[in-house]
Amino acid sequence: MVRPSVVTAAFAALLPVVGLLASPPAPAPSATPAARPFDALMPRLAAAEPGTYLVGKAGLVAVPEDARIPVMLQTDVLKGPAREARVGIVVGADVPQAADVRLRVKTAGASKEAGGVLADAGAIGTPGPLRLVREFSLPPGDYDVEAVVGHAKPGGDLIVAVGRSHLSVPELRSGPLAVTPVVAGEAAMTARPARVPFVFGKTTLTPAVSPRFRRDRTISVAFRIYNWTAKAEEKPDLTVDYLFYEQGTKGLHFFNKVKPQQLTADTLGTAFDPAAGSVAAGMMIPLEAFTLGDFQLFVKVTDNRNKQTAERRVAFTVAP
């Protein structure tokens, strides 16, 4: 069994990287995404499969594997002032030079062209680990999230990486048990509360810029749970299961699990306020017990009062 470090307190100060939500550091994001160097390419990129491409006279040409720029999209969902949710989305990448970043949110199933775009944001990032974090207000429903990260090469050609993910925003004020997307990254404990995306109570989770994690490191995950069964001012009675599956040649197969996590009046403590309507949970998992390869973490939450369940999953790779 994997040996975990458990983070059960409501997951709080804002790390500088997440500060883009409030006050972007220099260089400041462009006021008009239309000015982006690869803006004219967006219709072609919208039809391209996720991957990294050289953009030249020959069109879009996939680059060799060692030249790819992995793009990681992660999402946190919080209760908004009305039925709409506050949705924080981070685009992560590790780039060799200053790069342009473009983030678009579309209605799920919309055409791959400009139609259906609900939100469009952009920024310029410096070399190294890059994170563009933006918050949007979205009603419950299904969405397609698209990110483009690109930089110029000597000679005028562009290297452009395309990333996509599907986002399901649950109903947070009523309805069945709901779990928000699982965020993976690096956790840091703080004492200053902040109700912003990627801050879980007294833990700030810096989202990873790549799904690849070294075997000698630890992966931290966090998420939020809504709509548990309880009377007014009553704390939840929840069980969280963490199941790891490995990607093999014939598909996913069970790899390992951790001891189920109990979120109850006894474990949450007196500081937990059920009136907030959400409870944050997560794990810090040392990767030394994993083999090298691709994995998926399945998170299953059970409401022990009515036996409802809700699930989420996140994929990651264990690398040397």
Q: ∠288-293-297 over CA atoms, to 5°?
A: 75
Phi-psi sector, 116: left (phi>0), alpha (psi -120 to 50), beta = left
Q: Which domain holds residue 99?
A: 5-319
CB contact at 8 A, 149 and 100: yes
**Rounded Cα distance, 24 and 17, in Å:** 9
Task: List per-residue pLDDT tens for the chain, 320 residues long.
Answer: 555 443 333 332 222 233 233 333 333 333 344 445 567 788 888 889 999 999 877 789 999 988 899 999 999 999 998 889 999 999 999 999 999 999 999 998 765 554 588 999 999 989 999 999 999 999 999 999 999 999 888 777 889 999 999 999 999 988 899 999 999 999 988 766 668 899 998 889 999 999 999 999 999 999 999 999 988 778 999 999 999 999 998 999 999 999 999 999 999 988 888 888 899 999 999 999 999 999 999 999 999 999 999 999 999 999 99
The burial class, CB within 10 Å (0-12 / 13-18 / 19+), for 142 is exposed
For tokens 């239309």, the residue is 34
DSSP letter string, 45-85: HHTSPSEEEEEETTEEEEPPGGG---EEEEEEEEE-SSSSE
* Domain total of the chain: 1
**The two three-digit tokens of residue 49, written as one number:** 């499969």
**The two three-digit tokens of residue 243, written as one number:** 């199941």
Cα-to-chain-centroid distance, residue 230 = 29
**Which residues neighbour 112 within 8 Å (Cβ) at sequence distance 6 or greater?**
46, 47
Read off φ and ψ for residue 295, nearest 5 degrees.
-135, 160
Bridge partners (DSSP) listed for residue 79: 85
The burial class, CB within 10 Å (0-12 / 13-18 / 19+), for 215 is middle
